[in-house]
């Protein structure tokens, strides 16, 4: 574990490294104002005020580094609730590097990954769930993932969890009252009411844990295109991506390895895998591709099984229909522009070559993904803790239903309350914070 000192001053590049229009170097801590005064010289007679962007020059001693903009944000009105300075220099690694080196010479140290956001949490500006949302928003791939992160960042998860904490606290208060004033509160009545409410809260927590939807927001909806060789899988991939990602020829077995591509449909990232054509007679290299195709089919959220509509169903087609029968599957009858030799119930008829019904395939993918518009919990850590809290609530309910004493059920209720506190950061230790902030980028 890296030791972090809340009273020292840290600095890091807050924008991605490399060439660009602007590079932002962020400084936070008790020495930020002094660093601003030492390095930055405002042009003309500008007055230095908090939250006012200034134009000037930045120096390393007497050496001019750059003409830039700079802003001083005095505590507590800053991201970290400490004094914060940002230098907005011309983009490029060299200029930002020189600014950081100048800062390091005056007792400013390099920030660790996520340390700015960690300080924002430790200084009470945001709770832990909102701190985690910062990184989720940065890494969001698709509008739905971005929306979920923004909801968490603006306190959606906090509000959900804190409402449950209040409910559990009320239950504990009722149990305590029944234990302290048995002559006024009937214990059996209190036990029955507490059991019902505990079970209801557990069910609410479990209903908020949609692991599938959370995974899709994080990694995307996995779709495998499968079928016999030369059935049009690569043509469909290219049509959906609107680019020539996969090689298309009339020679069977052109695709020998998985060709992947991604697109956004309805705000969700959809990952397409064009697999090798599955057939029995194949050389060594093609056989490896077929094995990988079968693995992709097994792990896919949806399998698009392509069949050649212009030719009668073959024995190989029948075998593929049987092989994929237990998978989440949609049958696609391709090449319908060349004629329709057969039909299958529920199959979607398209022509990847002409573009016929490609929009219908996109609509199908959006429908099959089926992500709710609002998800209370989207983090695996939050869902794990919610399930743990639900277990203790159910344990309390079962104990009371079985006639166990109220004070035993109170132990489970207390544990459930403490577990919920780990979501928002009411109960944390250094190990948990290290785990949460280790995935952050430097400068955030």
Q: Is the pLDDT of residue 251 over 50?
A: no
The predicted pLDDT at position 63 comes to 96
Q: Is the pLDDT of residue 285 over 90?
A: no
Q: Which comes out higher in pLDDT, residue 275 or 355?
A: 355
The predicted pLDDT at position 20 comes to 84
Mean pLDDT (whole number) for 278-288: 58
Q: Is the pLDDT of residue 438 over 90?
A: no
The predicted pLDDT at position 148 comes to 81
> Cβ(57)–Cβ(67) under 8 Å?
yes
> Which domains are delineated in the chain?
9-126 (3.30.1360.120), 134-210+377-425 (1.20.120.430), 216-369 (3.40.50.300)
User: pLDDT-based confidence at 297, cuts 50/70/90?
Assistant: confident
The predicted pLDDT at position 4 comes to 46
Residue (of 204, 198, 221) closest to 376 by Cα position: 204
> Cβ(10)–Cβ(439) under 8 Å?
no
- The DSSP 8-state label assigned to residue 89 in this structure reads E
CA distance 375 to 54: 42
CA distance 279 to 289: 11
Q: The pTM is what?
A: 0.71
Q: Give pLDDT tens digits for 97-154.
A: 999 999 999 989 999 988 999 999 999 898 888 888 887 887 777 877 888 888 888 7
β-strands 348-349, 22-28 pairing: unpaired
Residue 444: helix, strand or coil by DSSP?
coil
Sign of CA dihedral 180, 181, 186, 192: negative
DSSP 175-202: HHHHHH-TTTS-HHHHHHHHHHHHHHHH
Q: Is the pLDDT of residue 282 over 70?
A: no
Q: Give pLDDT tens digits for 399-426.
A: 999 999 898 999 999 999 999 999 988 8
> Cβ(97)–Cβ(60) under 8 Å?
no
Beta bridge partners of 12: 26
DSSP 29-75: STTHHHHHHHHEEESTT----TT-EEEEEEEETTEEEEEEEEEEE-T
Mean pLDDT (whole number) for 282-300: 71
Q: Is the pLDDT of residue 37 over 60?
A: yes
Least confident of 43-52, 153-162, 219-228, 423-432: 423-432
> Cβ(72)–Cβ(36) under 8 Å?
yes
- Largest Cα span, the chain: 88
CA distance 212 to 232: 30
Q: Is the pLDDT of residue 390 over 50?
A: yes
Residue (of 13, 11, 34, 39) closest to 94 by Cα position: 13
CA distance 210 to 380: 10
User: pLDDT-based confidence at 71, cuts 50/70/90?
Assistant: very high
Residue (of 425, 342, 440, 427) closest to 130 by Cα position: 425
- In the chain, pLDDT over 70 holds for what percent of residues? 91
User: pLDDT-based confidence at 155, cuts 50/70/90?
Assistant: confident
Distance of CA 433 to CAs 109, 118, 173, 222, 338, Å? Answer: 20, 8, 31, 32, 61
> Cβ(188)–Cβ(197) under 8 Å?
no
Residue (of 364, 313, 315, 373) closest to 340 by Cα position: 313
User: pLDDT-based confidence at 1, cuts 50/70/90?
Assistant: very low
Residue 9: helix, strand or coil by DSSP?
strand
The predicted pLDDT at position 425 comes to 85
Interacting residues of 330 by C-beta distance below 8 A, sequence separation 6+: 302, 303, 304, 305, 348, 364, 368
Q: Is the pLDDT of residue 91 over 50?
A: yes
């Amino acid at each position: 574990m890296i030791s972090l000192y809340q009273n020292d001053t840290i600095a890091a590049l807050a924008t991605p490294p490399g060439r660009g229009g602007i590079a932002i170097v962020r400084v936070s801590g008790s020495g930020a104002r002094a660093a601003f005064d030492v390095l930055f010289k405002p042009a003309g007679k500008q007055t230095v005020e908090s939250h006012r962007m200034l134009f000037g020059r930045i120096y390393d001693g007497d050496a001019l580094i750059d003409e830039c903009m700079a802003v001083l944000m005095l505590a507590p009105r800053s991201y970290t609730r400490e004094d914060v300075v940002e230098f907005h220099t011309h983009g490029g690694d060299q200029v930002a590097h020189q600014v950081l080196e100048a800062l390091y010479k005056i007792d400013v140290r390099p920030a660790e990954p996520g340390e700015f956001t960690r300080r924002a949490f430790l200084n009470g500006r945001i709770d832990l769930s909102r701190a985690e949302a910062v990184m989720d928003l940065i890494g969001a791939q698709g509008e739905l993932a971005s929306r979920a992160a923004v909801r968490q960042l603006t306190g959606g998860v906090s509000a959900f969890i804190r409402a449950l904490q209040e409910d559990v606290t009320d239950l504990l208060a009722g149990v305590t009252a029944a234990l302290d004033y048995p002559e006024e509160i009937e214990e059996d009545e209190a036990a029955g009411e507490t059991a019902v409410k505990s079970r209801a809260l557990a069910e609410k927590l479990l209903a908020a844990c949609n692991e599938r939807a959370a995974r899709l927001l994080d990694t995307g909806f996995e779709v495998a295109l499968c079928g016999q060789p030369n059935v049009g899988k690569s043509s469909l991939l290219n049509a959906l991506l609107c680019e020539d990602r996969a090689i298309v020829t009339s020679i069977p077995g052109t695709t020998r390895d998985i060709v992947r591509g991604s697109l956004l449909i309805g705000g969700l990232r959809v990952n397409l895998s064009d697999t090798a054509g599955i057939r029995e007679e194949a050389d060594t290299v093609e056989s490896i591709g077929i094995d990988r195709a079968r693995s992709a089919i097994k792990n896919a959220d949806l399998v698009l099984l392509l069949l050649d509509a212009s030719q009668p169903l073959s024995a190989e087609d029948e075998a593929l229909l049987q092989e994929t029968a237990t998978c989440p599957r949609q049958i696609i009858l391709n090449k319908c522009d060349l004629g329709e030799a057969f039909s299958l119930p529920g199959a979607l008829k398209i022509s990847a070559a002409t573009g016929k019904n490609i929009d219908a395939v996109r609509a199908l993918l959006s429908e099959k993904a089926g992500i709710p518009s609002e998800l209370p919990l989207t983090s695996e850590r939050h869902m794990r803790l919610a399930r743990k809290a639900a277990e203790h609530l159910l344990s309390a309910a079962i104990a009371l239903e079985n006639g166990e004493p109220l004070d035993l059920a109170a132990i489970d209720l207390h544990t459930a309350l403490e577990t919920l506190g780990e979501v928002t950061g009411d109960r944390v230790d250094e190990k948990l914070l290290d785990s949460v902030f280790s995935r952050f980028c430097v400068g955030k």
